[in-house]
């Protein structure tokens, strides 16, 4: 039962995920059965693109991005696999996007109830996937610019209270030694090339619509470009990674060219800098939060970034051009094309996997 799971099984370190989702699923399956529970979760996941679109409209007032969002979500391999397999990410992303929606309401209307709702929903998301709890730092930073000291102090105390389960999990996760995991700092450093080579894929549409400016930017910043090249080259030199690494690493590995992943890692970092260079200090802070959320695990998988980058790029990073990007027809075309290529690649991969 649940008590045996919490007291005997979980503390042995046989499960790296938070136990909350498994407890929820246990009771749902006990009441409704396995098939109905999976069916209900899959359809619950279908509302996420709609909430995402509502959040975009709230930030940019009016956007015709709905069809694009629906296409992106429904051809995203991560989205489809999570929905089909009833992964913990279903409730995590649902609570997270609802949290961001209330966060956007707070930024727009300055009403305290919205920031409290956003923290509460974020806490629910972090109970299931603790890594998203780091987003609270973004909320607190923005709230500190709007609330007075008294109200900010109340908000921090509220956040500490609802964060207790998250802190208990982190304590368990950090203290328990596992045979398959390195120190989280080592994980973080060696996952950086995988993260930036993966983010490179999703930044291509931004680069393509400003390609001439991008070339000038690369030429102007060639020295940082060379320094980053050396850093990523030494990080990836003689690197062995049997599981994960993202789509580009997988393709390069198949072609016996995995050494060249450092090139795509450099481009990924430079692309982020190109897109968000107007508010470099704040955007560096947001990038660090995103890296912590996605790069602490022993293995890095593309699904960690596949849907998360959309949330960060549109709602957390600051760019005066983001609304311009979202309205450009060629940007939408490039974005859909990227996801279609990823979707096609995943089908080829799965076909090869199933055929041995």
Q: Which of 338, 351, 326 is nearest to 198 (CA)?
A: 338
Tokens of 341: 């290529």
User: Are 10 and 19 within 8 A, CB to CB?
Assistant: yes
221: Cβ contacts below 8 Å, ≥ 6 apart: 270, 273
What residue has token string 């102007």?
220
The first and second tokens of residue 221, run together, are 């910043």
Average pLDDT, the chain: 81
Q: Is the pLDDT of residue 176 over 50?
A: no
What pLDDT is recorded for position 146? 94
Q: How confident is the model at residue 303 (pLDDT cuts 50, 70, 90)?
A: confident
**Half-sphere exposure of residue 259, counting CA atoms within 13 Å on the CB side?**
5
pLDDT score recorded for residue 57: 83
| Phi, psi (rounded to 5 degrees) for 8 | -105, -50
Per-residue confidence (pLDDT) for residue 101, from 0 to 100: 94
Quickly state the pLDDT bin for 62 (edges 50, 70, 90).
low
Cα 284 to Cα 108, 186, 305: the distances in Å are 23, 21, 17
Distance CA(244)–CA(191), nearest Å, equals 10
Higher pLDDT among residues 21 and 199, named by residue = 199
Q: Is there a contact between 247 and 201 (Cβ–Cβ < 8 Å)?
A: yes
Three state DSSP letters for 271-321: HHHHHCHHHHHHHHHHHHHHHHHHHCCCCCCCHHHHCHHHHHHHHHCCCCC
Positive or negative: CA dihedral 123, 125, 128, 131: negative
44 vs 282, residue with greater confidence: 282
CB 240 within 8 A of CB 191: no
DSSP state of 11: G
**Residue in 356, 345, 350 with CA at minimum distance from that of residue 251:** 345
pLDDT tens digit sequence for 3-15: 454 444 444 444 5
Which of 11-25, 49-63, 196-210, 266-280 is predicted least confidently? 11-25
Q: Give the pLDDT of residue 7.
A: 43
Most confident of the ranges 275-284, 292-301, 319-328: 275-284
pLDDT per residue as tens digits for the range 227-278: 888 888 787 766 666 566 677 888 888 888 888 888 898 899 999 999 998 8
What are 108-151's pLDDT values in tens digits? 999 999 999 999 999 999 888 888 889 999 999 999 999 999 99
Its pTM stands at 0.86
Residue 349 has pLDDT above 70, yes or no: no
Of residues 174 and 233, more confidence is placed in 233
Q: Does pLDDT of 177 surpass 70?
A: no
Helix (H) or strand (E) holding 88: none
Residue 10: what pLDDT? 45
Does 66 have pLDDT greater than 70? yes
Distance CA 159, CA 326 (A): 33
pLDDT for 244 equals 64
DSSP state of 5: I
Q: What is the pLDDT of residue 335?
A: 92
Residue 327 CB burial class (10 angstroms; 0-12, 13-18, ≥19): middle
**DSSP string for residues in 125-163:** HHHHSGGGGGGHHHHHHHHHTTS-HHHHHHHHHHHHHHT
């Amino acid at each position: 039962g649940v008590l045996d799971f919490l007291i005997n099984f979980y503390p042995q370190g046989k499960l790296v995920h938070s136990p909350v989702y498994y407890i929820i699923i246990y009771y749902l399956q006990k009441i409704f059965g396995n098939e109905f529970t999976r069916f209900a979760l899959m359809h619950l996941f279908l509302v996420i693109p709609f909430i995402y679109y509502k959040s975009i409209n709230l930030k940019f007032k009016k956007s015709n991005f709905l069809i694009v969002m629906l296409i992106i979500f429904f051809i995203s391999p991560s989205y489809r696999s999570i929905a089909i397999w009833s992964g913990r990410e279903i409730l995590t992303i649902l609570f997270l996007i609802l949290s961001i929606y209330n966060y956007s309401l707070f930024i727009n209307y300055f009403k305290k109830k919205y920031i409290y709702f956003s923290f509460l929903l974020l806490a629910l998301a972090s109970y299931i996937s603790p890594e998203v709890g780091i987003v609270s730092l973004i909320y607190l930073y923005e709230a500190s610019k709007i609330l007075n000291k008294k109200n900010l102090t109340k908000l921090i105390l509220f956040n500490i209270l609802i964060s207790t389960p998250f802190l208990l999990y982190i304590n368990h996760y950090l203290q328990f030694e596992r045979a398959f995991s390195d120190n989280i700092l080592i994980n973080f450093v060696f996952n950086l090339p995988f993260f930036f080579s993966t983010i490179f894929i999703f930044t291509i549409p931004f680069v393509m619509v400003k390609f001439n400016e991008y070339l000038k930017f690369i030429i102007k910043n060639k020295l940082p470009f060379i320094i980053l090249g050396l850093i990523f080259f030494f990080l990836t030199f003689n690197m062995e990674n049997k599981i994960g690494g993202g789509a580009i690493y997988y393709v390069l590995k198949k072609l016996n060219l995995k050494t060249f992943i450092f090139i795509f890692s450099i481009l990924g970092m430079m692309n982020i800098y190109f897109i968000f260079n107007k508010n470099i200090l704040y955007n560096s802070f947001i990038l660090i939060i995103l890296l912590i959320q996605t790069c602490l695990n022993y293995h890095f998988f593309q699904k960690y970034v596949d849907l998360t980058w959309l949330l960060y790029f549109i709602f957390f990073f600051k760019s005066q051009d983001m609304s311009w990007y979202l309205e450009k027809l060629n940007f939408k075309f490039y974005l859909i094309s990227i996801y279609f290529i990823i979707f096609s690649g995943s089908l080829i991969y799965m076909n090869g996997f199933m055929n041995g």
